[in-house]
Amino acid sequence: MLNFLGRRIVQLVPTLFFVSVLIFSLQQLLPGDPALVMAGEERDPEIIARIRQEYRFDQPLPVQYLYWIKGVLSGDLGESLRIKVPVLELVKAKLPVTLQLAAMAMLIALAIGIPAGVISAVKKGTAWDYGANAFALWGISTPNFWLGIMLIFLFSIQLGWLPASGYVSPREDWQASLASTILPAFVLGNAIAAIFMRHTRSAMLEVMESDYIRTARAKGASERKVIIEHALRNALTPVITLGALELGTLLSGAVLTEQIFSIPGFGKLIVDAVFNRDYAVVQGVVLVTATTYITLNLIADVLYVLVNPRLRS
């Protein structure tokens, strides 16, 4: 296991280097001149020249990249060109909000999607199967913005059980924090649960036809043990892959859902940075997002080996 993990970590180094080069290069293709944006409406040539020199915009791109990557390796993602705040501080302020929201959404998706997929596969052709498939179709086809508005109308306006918008940190009040994030977490988790259900059902149906499942039944193993210990464990491999990708998507920012519920998360930070042409923030946020995706894929590879004994050899 340690050798496998070491090889995978070594493979990540050139991947991260390529990603950093790609992020920095594509950033240069965005329209507009950051020096002009920072100079304001007057755009004094002396001020513009001073800005170009201070932020090294007058240097060749390879030199700019070297300065940028040197700062990244030392934990400095640069400074926001608009509000003059270090990008790392902005990430530290916004990322925990999205982390909480993504974790809750993923827990909801796993709690609903995997059991529904298992039941649908085991009860194939019954009312349970049809009901689970109807739920999956509803979850996949329901727009997040519509579901969010309907939940706000029902639970906030009509029943008054939950706040309609806003966010409270769990460090301030964990109950208020849970109340402020449960609706957006369900909106995000609902669609992912439907996808989990479909993939779990498909994998379970394939695994249930395997020889080792028939062998386990022939040896007198209980149906519960066959389903949970043999079938489900081997059917989780594609679900783990899907979970890593979906969690990465959530962490990169659920922009629309955060806007509906006024959640000050990572998604809003990205959108604001793009609209304001805050290049340093865009670079830093995209780099963090890409690194998150790569790390989640590494975790998924490790989970493959832990869940499926056949992969350990």
The predicted pLDDT at position 42 comes to 63
Range ranked top by mean pLDDT from 105-109, 176-180, 302-306: 105-109
Asked whether the predicted pLDDT for residue 5 surpasses 80, the reply is no
Both tokens of 77, joined, read: 């993602």
Res. 156: pLDDT tops 70: yes
Listing DSSP states for 19-47 in one string gives: HHHHHHHHHTTSSS-HHHHHHTTT--HHH
Indicate whether 21 pLDDT > 70. yes
DSSP class of residue 79 equals B
- The 10s digit of each residue's pLDDT in 203-246 is 888 888 777 777 877 877 777 778 877 788 778 777 888 888 88
pLDDT confidence of residue 143? 84
Return phi, psi of residue 77, to 5°. -90, 10
> How many of the other CB atoms lie within 10 Å of CB of 48?
17
Query: Which amino acid is residue 228, in one-letter code?
Result: I
Would you tell me how many other CB atoms lie within 10 Å of the CB of residue 129? 16
> What are the tokens at 126?
């019954």
Indicate the pTM of the whole model.
0.77
Average pLDDT over residues 289-307: 78
Residue 61, classified by CB atoms within 10 Å of its CB into exposed (0-12), middle (13-18) or buried (19+), is exposed
Interval 164-172 mean pLDDT: 83
Domains and CATH numbers, the chain: 2-73 (no CATH), 93-311 (1.10.3720.10)
**Two tokens, residue 145:** 């913005």
**Confidence tier at 37 by pLDDT (50, 70, 90):** low
b/e map 208-241, b = 16+ CB within 10 Å: beeeebeebeeeeeeeeebbeebbbebbbbebbb
pLDDT of residue 282: 82
Closest listed residue to residue 248, CA positions, set 285, 290, 281: 290
